[in-house]
Chain A
Amino acid sequence: MLTILKNRLEQGYRTCNYPKEKPAVFPRYRGRPLIRKTADPDMAKACADACPQDAIDAGKKKIDMGLCVFCGTCERISKGEFVTFTNDFEISTAKKEHLLTDGDLPSLAQHAKQHFKKLFGRSLQLRQVSAAGCNACEADLNVLATPFFDLARFGINFVASPRHADAIVVTGPVSRNMKTALLQTYEAVPEPRAVIAVGSCTLTGGPFSHSAEVAKGLDTILPVDLFIPGCPPHPLTNLHGLLTFFK
């Protein structure tokens, strides 16, 4: 009994105050990319060539956050002259084309499906489907249930059955072998329902996009409402996406 109380005291209160206050993340975290439009075209080309995900459009001087794994190669090559990754983790979008960005993201709160806020703003039940995810996206969704993030305080929960869910949260590049199970889970969610795509693999196929075994983005299979980029997205990115889109 004493051990239990001692531990309880030591642990204290750990829940963050997001969204009222933004918790600090360590400086090396790479969030929203920012592109300097005035950068030398040769520099842009060098970054595009070195990008392991071929996520940079050197001509348009934009970066595709759907393909990007936020490794920071372009930032290092250009020494920040072309791309810098800011500490801003609020990077989700409501449209796939918004993922191709120079860093100026449209307001997520003002998306076209405002009726979702009325339907799900006070209670949102999510069914997670891992479709060939590497367990990083899954882990950083799972972590939302821990005391620091405490997703349940917002009326948002992960549920066991798609029958109890309002939305599915999909991770992974959707392997051929998971496609049917994913579609069956989606069909089992009662309408109106939302689809949330989490992570580079789900958005575009990510590092596996060259494989014939996976889809080139969840939106080629299902209508996606919310795109959360990252490899994996930081838990705060997930939290921001869910709160801003649905509440």
Chain B
Amino acid sequence: MTQFLEITNGGKVRRDTIPHLDFAVFCDHALSIIKNGGKVVHFFAYEDNDKDRVKFLAVLRTDVLLAAGCDAPESYPALTRTCEVFHLFEREIAEQFGIRPEGHPWLKMVRYHENQRQVPDVFGNDYTEDIPGNYDYYRVAGDEIHEVAVGPVHAGVIEPGHFRFNCIGERVLHLEIQLGYQHRGVENLFYTAKAKQLPLLAENIAGDTTIGHGLCMAQAVEALASVQVDEGAKIIRTIALELERLANHIGDLGALCMDVAFLAPANYFGRIRGDFLNLSLLLCGNRFGKGLVRPGGVRFTLDDDIRKTLDERIKELKPQVEHVLELIFSASTVRARFEGCGRVSAKDAQHLGLVGPAGRASGIAYDARRCFPTEYYPHLSIAENAKPTGDVLDRAMVRRDEVLQSISIIQSLIDKPVYTRPVEEGTRTLQSLAPFCFAVTVNEGWRGEVSHAVLTDDFGNILRYKVKDPSFHNWNGLAMALRDTGISDFPLNNKSFNLSYCGFDL
């Protein structure tokens, strides 16, 4: 029997009801949950009101969400030695709070910044030198080994990060990914932000996941302020999240075609992606959905004329999407490049804790829309969509299935009129969060599990704001996919994951 407390997605719990365990008991129980198939949603440190005390808090998931905390030691035997899923979380804690996980197999910085306790840096970095890549990369030794260094500035219009390949000929033996270039100090901004600024911070964590992160923040504030959202707003939020998924998945499928030089569908989907972005603009005036979701509901209603246009556009786009999908997946040139490329086995995916389409492509059926449904999802049936192989083809097929599914979800929701009272500007009711409470919110963004965890202090101020983008779980999946793969297939594999740099770097 676990001593972790079962909590609900988007529920509020008083902090003193979260079990505060002895450190050894905390570790034993956390590890046993993971060994029995559990996964880490959050594992982070925070400073309690009394500044000298640092605590750990973990939110794990099985088919329920489980939470427990403990006092943080200055150093401790790394949990990663037993369960790999902790490895980035432990590195993050080491970076943010200077707490050393002893025996961690690969203890290096995550985002390259000073810790917030002004204790000695775990990594021995000098932060007056401003390049995260000032670091001794992992090296493979041998006569014919060569290295390829790419980034931080890449050859396309994309975000920065560094990739270091160790190759023998064309074959990649190891890929090391070093991020941190995008670090903006997002989490720390939440502590001083005024209520009116919170939505902007959340929406800009990762602009392509505006709705995903916006929802997590809004639901957390709603939980802590005990605000109910009307059903109309839930429907609009659900439509917005599916539009976001559609635009991104379609863009990714087009980009995958571009990387195998099948230019026709690449251009078709490039254009159609824009059409779906424009449907978000139709709804709220912004192509990425910025400004739509606010604590308490949404700022824009689904008026009949908007609903009619949305319906017409979707009806017009649906056959086009289906036909381009048919074109892509029936082309032998596409299948020849996608099949068997960048395979991540189910076992590796489990060990790394992959989520979202990348996880589903490797056989992990988890989808927060089905497992921890929020908004209107409890009323929708989200089919399991796990694939067996974990190659580029499966990562593309997962997206194909979800594109068709998202279109039918939206169509099922725009059939009937929706009433919602839009959130009014400048209202002060939402500014008072319940003191000494905790809330965690989980949503299935287009890349997978997005989650925010919020702790309040005795006065209802935000004590700790923890953001987790699905990319935090998945970047190592890309590194694994490249093992024993031709380096020329890197762009294809990278696109098949299409992970967030800024969502990771925060």
Contacts and interface: CB of A to CB of B under 8 A. Distances in A.
A211 B185 contact: yes
A148 B480 CA distance: 37
Given A69-B200, A143-B274, A180-B130, A134 B281 contact: no
B274 A138 contact: no
B210 A178 contact: no
A16 B35 CA distance: 56
Contact of A146 (B199, B267, B323): B267
A147 B160 contact: no
A143 to B, nearest CB: 5
A63 to B, nearest CB: 15
A148 B204 contact: no
Interface residues of A, number: 75
Contacts of B282: 26, 28
Contacts of A163: none
Interface residues of B, number: 77
A202 to B, nearest CB: 13
B131 A130 contact: no
Contacts, number: 213
B142 to A, nearest CB: 30
B99 interface: no
Nearest to A169: B157
A175 B184 contact: yes
Interface stretch (B65-73, B85-93, B219-227, B287-295): B287-295
A158 B157 contact: yes
Q: Which 10 A-B pairs have the closest CB atoms?
A: A136-B207, A134-B207, A160-B155, A28-B285, A146-B270, A213-B185, A50-B426, A207-B200, A211-B185, A52-B196
Interface of A: 3-4, 6-8, 10-11, 14, 25-26, 28-30, 46, 49-53, 69-73, 76-77, 85, 128-143, 145-148, 158, 160-162, 172-173, 175-182, 185, 201, 206-208, 210-214, 231-232, 234-235
7 contacts: A52-B197, A76-B424, A134-B208, A138-B158, A140-B287, A176-B130, A177-B111
Interface of B: 111-113, 130-132, 152-153, 155-160, 180-186, 188-189, 192-194, 196-197, 199-201, 203-208, 210, 251, 264-265, 267-268, 270-271, 273-274, 277-278, 281-288, 290-291, 299-300, 306, 309, 319-320, 323-324, 326-327, 330, 424-426, 500-502, 505
